[in-house]
């Protein structure tokens, strides 16, 4: 069975992981790959959402903490910790 690990559309990317360590590794890898193409991740526009975890250390981009949110809009859909998408 294949697992969805990311969704990309134009300049919007969503990363998914079951483990916080993997999410930080994926975030770091995305930053490094983007940089080779001349792109930068804007930390102030980057958000993180955790579901069913007690891990509280923030995800980071180049040592800067990514804001943790309880809901966000992705490609016109509202995604939330409590109800999936609308």
DSSP string, 36-67: HTT----GGG-EE---S----SPPEETTEEPE
The pLDDT tens digits of the residues spanning 12-26 come to 777 888 887 888 999
The pLDDT tens digits of the residues spanning 31-66 come to 999 899 898 999 998 988 888 777 778 899 999 999
pTM as predicted:
0.75
């Amino acid at each position: 069975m294949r697992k969805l690990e990311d969704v990309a559309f134009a300049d919007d990317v969503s990363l998914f992981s079951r483990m916080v360590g993997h999410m930080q590794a994926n975030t770091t890898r995305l930053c490094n790959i983007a940089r080779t193409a001349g792109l930068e991740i804007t930390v102030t526009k980057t958000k993180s959402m955790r579901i069913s975890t007690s891990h509280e250390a923030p995800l980071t981009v180049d040592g800067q903490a990514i804001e943790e949110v309880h809901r966000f809009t992705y490609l016109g859909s509202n995604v939330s910790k409590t109800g999936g998408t609308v």
